[in-house]
Amino acid sequence: MSRDEPEHLPRHLWWILAGLTFVWGFNWTALKVALSEVAPFTFRTICLAAGSGLLFAFLRLSRQPLAVPRSEWPQLVLIALFTITAWNLLVAFGVRLIPSGRAAILAYTMPAWAIPLSVWLLGERMNGRKILGLALGMGGIALLLWDEVARLQGAPLGSLLVLGAAVTWAIGTLLQKKYPVRAPVAAYTAWIMLIGGIPIYAGALLSDDFGALARVEFWPALAVTYNVVFAFAWAHWAWIKLATTVSVTTFSLSMLMVPVVGVFSGMLFLGERPGFAEFGALVLVLGSLATVMVQPAARASSAAAGSAPGPSSAPPPRDR
């Protein structure tokens, strides 16, 4: 792990995490609604092509750089295949077979894969706070999953597809840390969405009937629009901003609130009632978040002392 990467989530990123949590949390319900009338390949094609198009348009209008160093295109393509292509296809096909709340729970087992891999491959060090955060977060996910175990057996393919998505997201997150791409976050986000979508665009052209879009009703169309503007154009920028700023462990644990919002979102829009498991998971996940959002007092004091002006002060790390 780079020495510039904080072991906790800095306060200036809290608003990004909050926005990402609610945008992606509510999106699990939107996914279910959109995919009720739009084929998976077509749906992901619209989201990725239009989402990256919005980002490119914003970058062009604001005159921000778009270039990626030529030597770093291979790692960008590799990262895109795991974090964009594999994730989006596996989730889109999996969520059609199982309830959206359950899909959100399975997808956010990602920390259980990413954190051990980061220790093994990146040399990230575990400490008491990280272990506690992982235990609390995975305890919350297990509590949500507890009532679903019997039903998982009824739709094994959908569950396996979404679990596969969690694994590819974990691998992609590690690749972003191990092979960083030297490009502004917004430009990197736009390119990774566009490049990762190429196999999906091909699949849509080969297998789907685009004429069926004319028959899509209001709510599925609104869900697609929500995905393009919020869940893809903005949220992917926010996700990459967080993932490239803090350690894999801190980022992974920060994401654990998303499935809780996803479960409550399904309850809100589908009329289900929260029970002990949902509220218990909320408490555990909030505890897990506290371990990465609250800076230890001793470290905060030393950081404050180190930031005092003087001839020995080090320059601030560059913004990624």
Stretch 235-239: mean pLDDT, rounded?
95
Given the structure tokens 């939107």, which residue do they identify?
30
pLDDT at 249: 87
Count of structural domains, the chain: 1
pTM score of the predicted model: 0.81
Determine, yes or no, domain membership for 309. Answer: no
Band (138; pLDDT cuts 50, 70, 90): confident
Q: Is 25's pLDDT higher than 80?
A: yes
Q: Is 75's pLDDT higher than 90?
A: yes
Q: CA-to-CA distance for 86 and 168, rounded, in angstroms?
A: 7
Determine, yes or no, domain membership for 304. Answer: no
Stretch 47-55: mean pLDDT, rounded?
96
Given the structure tokens 């959100």, which residue do they identify?
104
The phi, psi pair for 158, rounded to 5°, reads: -60, -40
Band (82; pLDDT cuts 50, 70, 90): very high
Among 20-34, 75-89, 100-114, which is the least confidently predicted range? Answer: 100-114
Band (313; pLDDT cuts 50, 70, 90): very low
In the chain, the percentage of residues whose pLDDT exceeds 90 is 48
Determine, yes or no, domain membership for 245. Answer: yes
265-300 pLDDT per residue, tens: 877 776 656 567 777 877 888 888 787 776 655 454
Determine, yes or no, domain membership for 106. Answer: yes
Q: CA-to-CA distance for 107 and 259, rounded, in angstroms?
A: 8
Q: How far is CA 231 from CA 23, 223, 226, 239, 240, in A?
A: 6, 10, 7, 10, 13
Contact 5, 246 (CB under 8 A): yes
Stretch 56-85: mean pLDDT, rounded?
94
Determine, yes or no, domain membership for 273. Answer: yes
Contact 44, 88 (CB under 8 A): yes
Determine, yes or no, domain membership for 308. Answer: no
Determine, yes or no, domain membership for 312. Answer: no
Determine, yes or no, domain membership for 227. Answer: yes
CA 199 to chain centre: 20
Stretch 101-114: mean pLDDT, rounded?
83
Q: What is the extent of the structural domain holding 118?
A: 11-293
